[in-house]
Amino acid sequence: MIISGGISKERLISLDTGNQVAEELSKNGYKVKIVEPNYKLINVIKFFKPEVIFNALHGQFGEDGYIQTILETTGIPYTHSGVIPSAIAMDKDLSKKIFLQNGINTPKYITYSFNLQNTILLKIIEKKLKFPVVIKPINEGSSVNVFICTKKNVLKKINSLKNYNKIILEEFIPGREIQAAIIGTKKLGAIELKPKRKFYDYEAKYNSKAKTKHIIPVDLKKKDYNRLMNLAFKAHQLIGCKGVTRSDFKFYKKKFYLLEINTQPGMTSLSLVPEIAAYKGISFINLIELILKDAKSKK
């Protein structure tokens, strides 16, 4: 059974992931049922009694521990991380604190709850972060509502995110965008991205017309590559993740900065984990089977 869709801002990406995983499984002899995570979900699961559930949801309610809490009540194995790791990874403030406490570089940041005068906020940003600054929701994925701001437009962009109640303001780190994938206890590999856009935002991730350049293998010295993969694996283990994770890094002045860890990376034709796996000789169906095997091993 595949759960996809949902009500997050990443619904369309989730549907794409679910459909592509279903198509691949079906043509390789698996019986597959795609369902929406609605109020009938538990009844549907009880009726079909799947051997394993592939969680293809992205964003809020799909990878933040919410759906995982519901799935735990069924007793049926499900893919990717469990309740607590999913909740931690989705909370950018909490995950960053864990990174910093364990010696993993992450950009300087502050959280903001729309409780300060504009002049005071600007002074805090200039003192603690400097411009340009990255602003983003504390609990979204796929670079939804992420902006790189100058002093001129930062207040306007911050105000556009008021419906989130709490956001992250983060030091902008220039440099190379490199992403590393882990599956279970295996360091799968890495890929570098060179977006035509200002950064690797939602459009760059999911619109083929954005023409983001994917570079694999990544041009790094062996010791730097090993350091990158060790950091990704460390983050994966620290948070207690299962299945596949993709960690997003910036590489600047010989330092890796971990921006965030994604517990349910996309599995679409433009997604990075399948591309990394393919480079390593792992076909799409084999990758899906590895994820399903990992899910079953949790129970």
Residues 146 and 234 in one domain: no
Name the domain count of the chain. 3
Say which CATH number the domain at 211 has.
3.30.470.20
**CATH (domain of 20):** 3.40.50.20
Task: Say yes or no: 165 and 44 in one domain.
Answer: no
Which of the residues are catalytic? 10, 142, 206, 246, 248, 260, 262, 266
* Span 92-140, pLDDT tens digits: 999 999 999 999 999 999 999 888 888 898 989 988 998 899 999 888 7
Q: CA 61: distance to chain centroid?
A: 14
Q: Are residues 9 and 42 in the same domain?
A: yes
Same domain, 7 and 146: no
In this prediction, residue 298 has a pLDDT band, given cuts at 50, 70 and 90, of low
State residue 60's pLDDT score: 84
Residue ending a domain, among 153, 171, 189, is 171
pLDDT at 59 over 70: yes
Domain that holds residue 188: 88-104+174-297
Pair (133, 9) in one structural domain: no
Q: Last residue of some domain: 123, 141, 171?
A: 171
What type of residue sits at position 149? C
Q: Which residues of 134-161 are buried (b: 16+ CB within 10 A; e: fewer)?
A: bbbbbbbbbbbbbbbbeeeebeebbeeb
- Tens of pLDDT, residues 171-217: 999 999 999 999 999 999 999 998 775 544 445 444 455 578 999 99
- In this structure, the answer to whether residues 75 and 162 fall within a common structural domain is no
Q: Do 238 and 281 fall within a single domain?
A: yes
Residues 22 and 73 in one domain: yes
Calculate the alpha carbon distances from 207 to 47, 67, 93, 180, 210 in Å.
Answer: 37, 27, 28, 21, 6
List pLDDT tens digits, range 245-254.
Answer: 999 999 999 9
Q: What is the per-residue pLDDT for 201?
A: 44
Same domain, yes or no: 134 and 232: no
Residues 39 and 132 occupy one common structural domain = no
CATH number at residue 130: 3.30.1490.20
- Asked whether residue 145 carries a pLDDT value surpassing 70, the answer given is yes
Shared-domain flag, residues 97 and 228: yes
Q: What is the DSSP string of 166-189?
A: -EEEEE---SEEEEEEEETTEEEE
The 10s digit of each residue's pLDDT in 79-95 is 999 999 999 999 999 99
Q: What is the pLDDT at residue 198?
A: 54
> pLDDT tens across 241-284, in order?
999 999 999 999 999 999 999 999 988 877 899 999 999 999 99
- pLDDT at position 165 over 90: no
More confident residue, 228 or 198: 228
Strands 54-55 and 2-3: parallel
Query: Residue 143: what pLDDT?
Result: 62
**Together in a domain, 55 and 12:** yes
Ramachandran sector of residue 114 (left: φ over 0; alpha: ψ -120 to 50; beta: rest): left
